[in-house]
Chains A and B, each alone.
Chain A
Amino acid sequence: MAKARNESELLSLLHELGTSAGRNFLAIDFLLVQKNMLAYIGRNIALRVVLLFIVSVLIHGLIHLAPGEPSAVDPSNPRMKPQDIAKIRAAFHLDDPLYLQYVYWVRDLARGELKSFKDNQPVLGKIWRRFLNSLPLFICSTLIVWTLAFPVGIHAAIRRGAVFDRASTLVAYALISFPGFFLSYIMILGVVEVFHVPVIGLRTFGMEGATGVFQFMDRVWHLVLPSLLGALGGIAILSRYVRSQMLEVVSQDYVRTAKAKGLHQDVVIYRHALRNALLPFITMFGLLIPGLVGGSVIFETIFAWPGLGLLGYEAILSRDFPVILTLNVFGAMLTLIGTLISDVLYGVADPRIRLE
């Protein structure tokens, strides 16, 4: 009897630990490591700045290694004389040594006077406007990925080997291997042929006179296809990931214990198992952020979405060095910030990880 009582005590203790584990550890740990953490973050930021510098130098070199010249000095334009081209080259510092060009870039960027080769507009302003355009697409598509992938993945894991699991596996692999641009074309054709509504761009043309709600909903409608198509690959991959994480966690001892304790299936899955399965996704969340810059080049091009991806693509085609360089460094910066955030969050969420 005593033995049995001990076991049940132990069980209840475990149970309690299970329910409050995250919260308690978080509170205690946070207080303890707060001081450590600040030092850690400081050190990391310094490291990342150095890294950013190296990355920017590398990108600068790479861009200039690629063949081709900015379109403004394109020698195939028969109107231009060598003297004119020489003048433009001089204005763009194209004939200066590479390190000097880098210095000019940093100087102009710091002053906020960096200009695009293509239209002489300030680069930062351009990037900011495109960033605002890309943001809703990014948020919407991220929301779709994360809200859909979890239920699908969890469900597939619980009913491992059942019809739903197999079907979702098949669909996921189909989506991963199917080229997104092709699917986009099919979807666009289908929607336009069947529903006769425009789907391209940020909004419908000629809606300037409509009331606010209509305009807002029109914008939402134009978000649907590009964000859905942009999300499909993500859903497929993430739901597979969720499934395998869940499977791993479900076979852990503490889950078996929770089940043995007679807890409801839902409680076991959503309270005990899911929380632990979630940990690796913190890392993924941090790595999502740089997707803002390069993640949607294809979809932005197909849907004529004037975002950062399209800006970068166009800039590469016309060898607009300041824009390419700034955009790449911006992307690198987002990546570094993303990894920093996920490192910190990870440390906060999982006390087993030490921030040193």
Chain B
Amino acid sequence: MRLKRWLLLAPLLLTVFLLQSYFWVPTYEKQATGNPKRLVTYIEGSIGDAKVLNPILNADSASSNIVGHVFEGLLDLDENLNLRGRLATKWTISEKTYLFVSPANRFPDGTEVTGPRLANRIRSALQRDSFSALAENVKGMEVVPSTSLTQKIPIQEKGEDGKPKRGEVEIAFNMPERVAFSLHQVDQDFFKRLMPVIGDRYLKNFPYEQFVQFPDGINPEIKMQIQVQLPEFFPVAEHNPIIDFYLRKGVRFHDGHEFDAGDVKFTYEAIMNPNNLSPRTSDFEPIKFVKILDSHHVQVVYKRLFSPAINAWMMGILPEHLLNNNAMQQEMERRELSDAAREAFGMRDSQFNRHPVGSGSYRFVEWQSDEFIHLERFETYWEGPAEYHDFFMRIIPDFFTQEVEFHAGAVDDYSAQPHQVARYKQDAQYQNFSSLGFGYTYIGYNNRRPLFADPEVRRALGMAINVEEFIKYLLYGEGERITGPYPKNTQWNDPSIAPLPYDPEGAKALLMELGWTPNADGWLEKDGKVFEFNLITNNGNPIRKNIMIIAQNAWKKIGVKCNTQVFEWAVFLKDFVNTAQFDAVVLGWSMGVDPDLFQLWHSSEAGPQQLNFVGYNNSKADDLIVRIRQEYDVDRQREMAHQLHQQIHEDQPYTFLYAPLETKVLDKKIVLVYRGEDGKETYEKIYPTKTGNISLYFNKWRKLEMNPNF
């Protein structure tokens, strides 16, 4: 029977065909010997695919990883997290300040205030000994005549459907005469120091209504909204910090075009262009304008004091010639877009985001969605070409599979989980690293709830928890205790602050002092109410879930009743966190390198959808937070950051738990390669920097054929 034979043969043939393919596939050993190129190819495993390969648009970690190799910023961070010049060789920070000539004021002797008089008074005051420090900082002084200008002020109005709607109103403002000061260094207290000359009340009560013209027929309610904002848009005393960047000469983009000041200005403008919907506008919003002084000198002038703003310049610089209006027009022509599509066309729609051209150490080659992104080293990179010739980011959306591929040699690096790292510690073939990152995990209490209003209660709850247990059993030792809001590896963290002791008895005693007494069932009770609350977190994070269970158990031991619940992320945010409808949460933050904690801890940021959702409110902390972000002197910043750390530690708005260590496992054959003048290579073991960064010197990494001996 032919049919019968075919029915039996078909599966057999298919199986044989499929299985024989095994013999064509290189094994781990053969891959290394038969394919020398593999040694200069670095393959990194990534859970998710990149989204947008454009430094001003990306917001996810996979994209930033690739963008970090392809693009380069003006600055980056060195071994000690200090700023280091990249595309900029040098930068200086100075300041220009402006003081309104306020007609509503009179000098202490009763004379009327005018521009020249004000300038003269200050000038003569600066001659005095008591102002010598201030005088030293003043480079120059002039009177700026009055001008008139228009300004768009954002407002909120009621839409037709009754919901609040955002809008803008254009107003005309007659800028009065101003005295302008050029300062060598930024001084946030400059005007305070001038108070003895201009009078204590000079900065207040400026008669804005005499200088502003509203559009006709404006709604009085909106007029109120604008009036409130006027001091913000036109401050009586204005600080304009200035950064001068001197750019590196001879740097080229991957297509050969030379990098210059125009690219820096263009990158800034592209971010601020509303058509491009950049998620980084808030980083660059403090900038007043960017001015090109010559082809390799850019001046950035800021609207107000905001010292972390300089960090934004670590962002990659875009090539103007490939993305300016002209280039965009050409792309639209080429793609034959409809008129509607042309109207909405922004940088987000450009194919550039899938074929980026930057000036970084690697150039883009190919991107296969959800499969890999291939980069190749940029031979004429200004710092010399990288050791690895090819860089692949492979997308493997599963932790276990990543490890298997690592094991098969098809991936050099992947995001190893703590329990996986524990396994590799025994294996002589691998080197592993654990280092501090910028994240931490905490239990946050809703400070607004009467139950948690007392810092002593929060302290007692923290003392009942044994954090060492979390680190040992949940993180396999890959974590460190923390005491406050700053990453431990930054200078802002005060290492002298001791963590809360683990002392359940002490915790119970503290609560009993506050009037809580155990009832018949063993729960603590006060005024007939049991100490009971809900602890929640998001699902999808098993460690957080386990933290809840352990904490629940620890609190039960001191008589505190805690109920736990897990919610889907979107629901968790929408129904609980954003609306502050929770008792306590287990969550984590990933911090930046700057000491600015405004969004997380300032009391003005405790509204709906804002990040101070626990409602921390301490005027001393508020003051410090504001002064830190206005301070440009690192030593003074550090001093204040330590005070802030101390304050938050005392208030215990969170129980700060631990900072997870970032772990990395690499083949031992991957080393740092140094080339001597004579071209001879020396090797060094890869080491994490003091701040925990392992791949800072990635461009010097390479895989050797044999295991090296150090």
Contacts and interface: CB of A to CB of B under 8 A. Distances in A.
B25 A218 contact: yes
Interface in B610-625: 611
A193 B403 CA distance: 12
A82 B30 CA distance: 55
Contacts of B574: 67
Given A81-B281, A192-B408, A266 B4 contact: yes
Contact of B277 (A88, A113, A121): A88
Contacts of B66: none
B233 interface: no
Interface in B1-44: 1, 3-4, 7-8, 10-11, 14, 17-29, 31, 35, 37-38, 41, 43
Contacts of B18: 140, 220, 223-224, 227-228
A79 interface: yes
B573 A75 contact: yes
A221 B396 contact: no
Contacts of B408: 192, 196-200
Given A206-B41, A301-B398, A304-B401, A91 B344 contact: yes
A120 B25 contact: no
B597 to A, nearest CB: 11
A69 B281 CA distance: 21
A217 B398 contact: no
A96 B416 CA distance: 43
A345 to B, nearest CB: 20
Contacts of A301: 397-398
A82 B599 CA distance: 13
B6 to A, nearest CB: 10
B27 A206 contact: no
B82 interface: no
Contact of B27 (A143, A154, A188, A197): A197
Contact of B370 (A120, A140, A228, A311): A311
B371 A267 contact: no
Contacts, number: 197
B31 A221 contact: no
Nearest to B407: A192
A207 interface: yes
A115 to B, nearest CB: 7
Contact of A119 (B21, B52, B405, B573): B52
Contact of A274 (B3, B10, B14, B35): B3
Given A121-B354, A306-B370, A200 B51 contact: no
Interface stretch (A145-153, A281-289, A334-342): A145-153
Given A84-B281, A196-B28, A221-B22, A270 B4 contact: yes
Contacts of A43: none
A204 B370 contact: no
A155 to B, nearest CB: 9
A87 B348 CA distance: 13
Contacts of A78: 599-600, 611
A121 B353 CA distance: 9
Nearest to B48: A314
A151 B14 CA distance: 14
Contacts of B8: 151
B21 A218 contact: yes
Interface in B322-340: 337-338, 340
A202 B371 CA distance: 8
B609 A75 contact: yes
B164 to A, nearest CB: 11
B568 interface: yes
Contacts of A274: 3
7 contacts: A78-B600, A79-B59, A80-B279, A83-B166, A111-B340, A223-B18, A301-B398
Interface of A: 67-69, 71-72, 75-84, 86-88, 91, 111, 113, 115, 118-121, 126, 129-130, 140, 143-144, 147-148, 150-151, 154, 185, 188-189, 192-193, 195-202, 204-207, 209, 213-214, 217-218, 220-221, 223-224, 227-228, 266-267, 269-271, 274, 301-304, 306, 310-311, 314
Given A217-B24, A301-B397, 16 more contacts: A79-B283, A111-B340, A113-B338, A120-B348, A154-B7, A197-B22, A198-B410, A200-B410, A201-B405, A201-B410, A205-B43, A206-B37, A209-B37, A220-B21, A310-B370, A314-B370
